[in-house]
Amino acid sequence: MHHIDVRMEKDVYDVNNAIADENARHLKDHGIRAFDLLGAIGSGKTALIERLVPLLKGKGLRAGAIAGDVYGDDDFQRIIKQGIPAYNANTGKECHLDAHLVEHAIEHLPLDDIDILFIENVGNMVCPTDFRLGAEKRIVIVSSTEGDDVVNKHPMMFRDCTIGVINKVDLAPLVGANIDRMEADIHRYNPEMPVFKTNMKTGENLAELLDAILV
């Protein structure tokens, strides 16, 4: 028989959410708006940060980032090439960031030099869903190369996020992915979610996406 200790699970979430609320207050005290980026490995989370940093500079806004990965610093190295402050948060065996890890990461950032903080979660479509970090919005990114059934396989991710991004739309014909089906699935699980279809190589729809993030 499979036994689940519901009380223990609730305690874990309660503690995490309390720290997430404190993270949100701490960032707000420094005038920082934080946004959580979620999606599978290779969906385009790091590429999105790379693309949005120059657009933010054009608006007179200073970006920072927390790069969450199980191991290594590949994404972190890409991000700091944009000339922004960042922190590499390795989770070890954990498949998601949690609020305590983000609290620790925030301690290593020059908060007075940041207006917009991107929190790039670990590449996973399941585990990050239940762990709030203190961000004001959660942006979920999927790509055509994951298959057009990816949304239907991960409904909780889309029910719990604020903005949806379907990336690599240029590759959809090559992999046989139906972008319309992906968008329809998103709206089936979250009818109010705005959805942006992007191509990180050309910058398609990224300015509109940034406006929706900042609104």
Q: What is the DSSP letter of 196?
A: E
Contacts of 7-13 with C-beta under 8 Å, sequence gap 24+, read 13/130, 13/131
Task: Give residue 93's pLDDT.
Answer: 86
For residue 19, the SS3 value is helix
Task: Give residue 3's pLDDT.
Answer: 53
Mean pLDDT by 10 residues, the chain (215 residues): 57 94 98 98 98 98 97 97 98 94 98 98 94 97 98 96 98 98 98 98 97 98
User: Is the pTM above the cut of 0.85?
Assistant: yes
Task: Give residue 136's pLDDT.
Answer: 97
Residue 37's beta-bridge partner residues?
A: 120, 139
For residue 67, the SS3 value is strand
Backbone angles phi, psi at 150, to 5 degrees: -65, -35
Give me the half-sphere count of Cα atoms (radius 13 Å) on the Cβ side of residue 8. 3
Task: Give residue 5's pLDDT.
Answer: 59
